[in-house]
Amino acid sequence: MTRSRVGIVGLGAWGTALAALLARAGHQVCAWTTEAPVLDELRANHTNSKYLPGISLPDSLRATEDAATALAGADFLVWAIPVQVLREVTSRLAPHVAPESVQVSVAKGLELGTHERPSRILQSCLPGRRLAALLGPSHAEEVARGVPTSVAACAEDGDAAEAVQRLFHGDRFRVYTNSDLAGAEYATAHKNEIALAAGIGDGLGFGDNTKGALMARGLAEMSRLGVALGGRQETFFGLTGLGDLVTTSFSRHSRNRHVGEQIGRGRDLQAVLCEMTQVAEGVATSRAALELARSRRVDVPIIEQVVAILHEGKPPRDALLDLLTRDPRPE
Amino acid sequence: MTRSRVGIVGLGAWGTALAALLARAGHQVCAWTTEAPVLDELRANHTNSKYLPGISLPDSLRATEDAATALAGADFLVWAIPVQVLREVTSRLAPHVAPESVQVSVAKGLELGTHERPSRILQSCLPGRRLAALLGPSHAEEVARGVPTSVAACAEDGDAAEAVQRLFHGDRFRVYTNSDLAGAEYATAHKNEIALAAGIGDGLGFGDNTKGALMARGLAEMSRLGVALGGRQETFFGLTGLGDLVTTSFSRHSRNRHVGEQIGRGRDLQAVLCEMTQVAEGVATSRAALELARSRRVDVPIIEQVVAILHEGKPPRDALLDLLTRDPRPE
């Protein structure tokens, strides 16, 4: 195995889990964060109890608040920060990014206002750098515990996808490649709105039958929208589409499903969001998704109802029953 | 609404739930079973505690052991018995089946030996009768409790599909139509083998990431096989494919997932099956599925490992890790 130098931007749950995975595999990993308590704890105890409680991190994982130290000389940079701050942070750190380094995008969702995908933000802030997105059904907590996981390294540039595949691939973390970067990023973003709807159903006390129907109709909706935006249909039936959708919609680890469940139980959105240490991307992304769908004249009934519930005060039960009581017709 | 006369063949969980649904909607429903204790309890208490515990059944639901009484004069007959006994029972009851009655197939799986689908068995035993299959993500327990459910009435004969749609459609039980009967029945059968694999993963302590990957790769496998057998690709991404697959693979009500989980924990297959009051179709169907796949030269790695675990004594952990450790490659 080639030992690589890897910089990790962000020490949330996912950044920390990937940093630990690579450090354990023998790579030289340095993470960057501006959160002083996270840094102090990582250095003192080799844990990150705010974002990844209960996990011992490898001693070899280093961390710093100094961007030059973390980024300079890295072969790979993993951008593990929320999409809504990705442009600002990347612009700020760009001067430290080596021209030859491969960028690994692991952010999910779309940027508000521009509706832009994470990899496009990285490309515009770091022009000319090689890039792949690592996406798929991968809750950080489970990856950190060694649960068997399969993901896709997605890039139009096949060499970049294979380089990222080689970097991350291991016995319990299987990495496939996929050349449909746009489809994978749209699938990853829009599954969050469907997972919110699934969580709302859970909160209302609906069952597995309801969720099965939501998955089938949600995936159809995601793929209609994603194909209209330039993705390929088959990506929606793969790891980054269906795989990520069902994991997010059923897992107790899923933040979007959790927010939906609380809303379904009648709680207030702001109160729920205030309790969370991490971002539920779908809450913000749902509006962008609806705007995108309308601009392309794509029918997205589930996303419409999710936006109505979250942002327009529509009672969750009415919204879900509106979805279910459309006229009977061919599937 | 037209009030129809409906005969239900079989009072297992699904037959009972559908009988109750139709009786509550005002149809004249008579069920047939040879299980004397079930009949006695239904008449005395309006319950079926063996198959559908905790559910009060409508007073208007009648039941009998006399086939002529249950079947003669019915507008619709619902065949709610396991596929492995469907041919024998249907042949025996055929003399009582009115020529004009519409047959509703709700059996799941394939017949051992012949590899035949339920609707084809009904067609061969009841030649010339109109027929549709009612399939999709629909655990009997949830339907009986009024959980919102969506299913598909599947038939090459559009009039039969629409007649069955009109019979069953209601606020909490939405019925779509699908003209791909073969695809829907193959999807319904083969999802059980994938759900067994998902359950085995649960029993081994694997997580949601593992299951998400299994869903994506399992659906690809199901659709490869189903399309080779004459089904249409899009059916596998709809209610009877993806919808039923995820419901079966995640639900605590699923018998196939449950059997898989017990096997994953190291228990003996025969011991697990002996404890169950109902059939886990996938255990028997997995062999038929593998034979079918081999005869069509379709690659079905998940079904192969499920057969190796259930019928050839392969340790579950080795089998699942064999699946996960195939060489990394494009998705």
CA distance B293 to B286: 10
In the predicted model, what is the mean pLDDT of residues B209-218?
A: 94
Q: CA geometry: angle at B278 spanning B186 and B82, to 5°?
A: 40
C-beta neighbour count of A328 within 10 angstroms: 17
Residue numbers of A between 179 and 218 with CB closer than 8 Å to B: 179, 201, 206-213, 215-217
Report chain B residues whose CB lies below 8 A from the CB of A176.
328-331
Distance between CA atoms of residues B214 and B191, nearest Å: 11
Q: Are B305 and B199 in contact (CB under 8 A)?
A: no
Specify the pLDDT at position A91. Answer: 97
Phi-psi region of B278 (alpha: psi -120 to 50; beta: other; left: phi over 0): beta
Burial call A120-132: b when 16+ CB within 10 Å, e when fewer: bbbbebbeebbbb
Mean pLDDT of B197-206: 95
Say what the pLDDT of residue B328 is: 63
Q: Helices A281-295 and A301-312 sit at what angle, rounded to 10 degrees? A: 130
Q: How far apart are CA B103 and CA A46, in angstroms?
A: 65
Let me know: does B259 contact B272? Beta carbons within 8 Å: yes
A134 backbone dihedrals φ, ψ, rounded to 5°: -105, 110
pLDDT surpassing 80 at residue B324 = no
Cβ–Cβ contacts within 10 Å for residue A229, how many?
Answer: 21
Q: Judge whether A258 is closer than 8 Å to chain B, CB to CB.
A: no
A169 neighbourhood in chain B, CB within 8 Å = 328
pLDDT per position as a tens digit, B245-268: 999 999 888 889 999 999 999 999
Residues of A in contact with B175 (CB under 8 A): 328
Give the Cα separation of A289 and B65 in Å (integer).
Answer: 56
Q: Is A147 on the interface with B (CB under 8 A)?
A: yes
Distance CA A250, CA A271 (A): 23
What letter represents residue B2's amino acid? T
Are B143 and B149 within 8 A, CB to CB?
yes
Quickly tell me which residue has 């962008």 as its tokens: A288
Per-residue pLDDT, B77: 98
d(Cα A219, Cα A190) in Å, to the nearest integer? 9
Write phi, then psi, for B205 (nearest 5 degrees): 85, 10
- B176/A207 Cβ within 8 A: no
Q: What pLDDT was estimated at residue B200?
A: 95
* Shortest Cα–Cα distance, B234 to chain A (Å): 10
The pLDDT, as a whole number, for residue A127 is 96
Determine the distance in angstroms separating the CA of A99 from the nearest CA of chain B, rounded to an integer: 27
Active site residues of B: 191
Q: Are strands B149-154 and A130-135 parallel, antiparallel or unpaired?
A: unpaired
And the tokens for A273?
A: 């969001």
Residues B198, B211: contact at Cβ < 8 Å?
yes
CA-only gyration radius of chain B, Å: 19
DSSP letters spanning A131-167: EEEEESS--HHHHHTT--EEEEEE-SSHHHHHHHHHH
- Report the relative pairing of strands B149-154 and B130-135 from DSSP bridges: antiparallel
Instruction: Return the closest-CA partner of residue B48 out of B77, B23, B84, B75.
Output: B23
pLDDT in tens, chain A (331 residues): 689 999 999 999 999 999 999 999 999 999 999 999 999 999 999 999 999 999 999 999 999 999 999 998 999 999 999 999 999 999 999 999 999 999 999 999 889 889 999 999 999 999 999 999 999 999 999 999 999 999 999 999 999 999 999 999 998 999 999 999 999 999 999 999 999 999 999 999 998 999 999 999 999 999 999 999 999 999 999 999 999 999 999 988 888 999 999 999 999 888 888 888 766 778 888 888 999 999 999 999 999 999 999 999 999 999 988 887 666 677 7
* The predicted structure's pLDDT at residue B263: 94
Nearest to B175 by CA among B250, B249, B240: B240
Which pLDDT value is given to residue B276? Answer: 81
Position A326 scores a pLDDT of 63
**Please, which residues bridge with residue A78 across strands?**
A8, A104
For B31, the 3-state DSSP assignment is strand
One-letter amino acid at A166 equals: R
pLDDT bin (cut points 50, 70, 90) of residue B327 is: low
Residue B244 Cα, gap to closest chain A Cα (Å): 6
Active-site option among A50, A191, A211, A314: A191
Q: What whole-number distance in Å separates Cα of residue A35 and Cα of residue A16?
A: 13
pLDDT in tens, B31-80: 999 999 999 999 999 999 999 999 999 999 999 999 999 998 999 999 99
Residue among B113, B111, B112 nearest B123 (CA) = B111
**Residue B9: is its pLDDT beyond 90?**
yes
Q: Is B316 on the interface with A (CB under 8 A)?
A: no
Sheet of A5-9, strands arranged across: A62-64, A28-32, A5-9, A76-79, A102-105, A130-135, A149-154, A173-178
Considering only the C-alpha atoms of chain B, give the largest distance between any 2 of them, rounded to a whole number of Å. 61
B233 part of contact set with chain A, CB < 8 Å = no
Q: Pick the closest to residue A117 from A89, A139, A86, A157 (CA basis).
A: A86
Rounded-to-integer distance, Cα A133 and Cα A199, Å: 27
| E strand map for B182-282 | none
Enter the ipTM: 0.90
> Which pairs from A158-161 meet CB under 8 Å and 24+ separation?
A159/A130, A160/A102, A160/A130, A160/A131, A160/A132, A161/A132
Angle in degrees, 0-180, between the axes of helices A208-228 and A301-312, rounded to the nearest 10? 100
Query: Which of A137, A213, A239 is opposite residue B150, by nearest beta carbon?
Result: A213
- Give dist(CA A285, CA A34) in Å, integer: 25
pLDDT at A320: 87
Cβ atoms < 10 Å from Cβ of B85: 13
Average pLDDT, chain B: 94
Q: Do A211 and B324 touch (CB under 8 A)?
A: no
The structure's pTM equals 0.91
The dihedral formed by the CA atoms of A140, A142, A144 and A148, expressed in degrees to the nearest 10: -120
Q: d(Cα B192, Cα A23) in Å, to the nearest integer?
A: 39
Q: What angle do CA A293, A294, A300 make, to 5 degrees?
A: 50
Q: Say yes or no: A171 contacts chain B, CB-CB below 8 A.
A: yes
The answer to whether the Cβ–Cβ distance between B210 and A148 falls below 8 Å is yes
Let me know if A234 is exposed, middle or buried by CB neighbors in 10 A (0-12, 13-18, 19+).
middle
Contact list in A for residue B251 (CB cut-off 8 A) is 207-208
pLDDT of residue B326: 63
pLDDT at B2: 83
Burial class (CB in 10 A: 0-12, 13-18, 19+), A307: buried
10 Å CB burial of residue A171 (0-12, 13-18, 19+) is exposed
